[in-house]
Amino acid sequence: MRNDEVTRLQKELIEIIKKISNHDILIYLKSFISIINDKWGS
């Protein structure tokens, strides 16, 4: 990917994160972490 494409994606991600409330982000992160732990956990 070219640098301008990466920058554009980062800007879009930031906008999405701004729209989501902190509470929703925490719930998403917790479920994402538990999925990772299930796949590669001890």
Judged against a pLDDT cut of 70, whether residue 1 lies above it is answered with: no
pTM: 0.41
* pLDDT of amino acid 42: 57
- One-character DSSP codes across 5-33: HHHHHHHHHHHHHHHS-HHHHHHHHHHHH
By CB neighbour count within 10 A (0-12 exposed, 13-18 middle, 19+ buried), where does 13 fall? Answer: exposed
Q: Tens digit of pLDDT for each residue in 24-42?
A: 888 888 999 899 889 886 5
Query: Residue written as tokens 């994160």?
Result: 17
Range of the domain at 9: 3-40
Q: What's the structural domain count of the chain?
A: 1
Kindly tell me the sign of the dihedral angle through the C-alpha atoms of 19, 23, 26, 32: negative
Predicted confidence band at 22 (pLDDT cuts at 50, 70, 90)?
confident
State how far the Cα of 5 lies from the Cα of 10, in Å rounded to an integer: 9
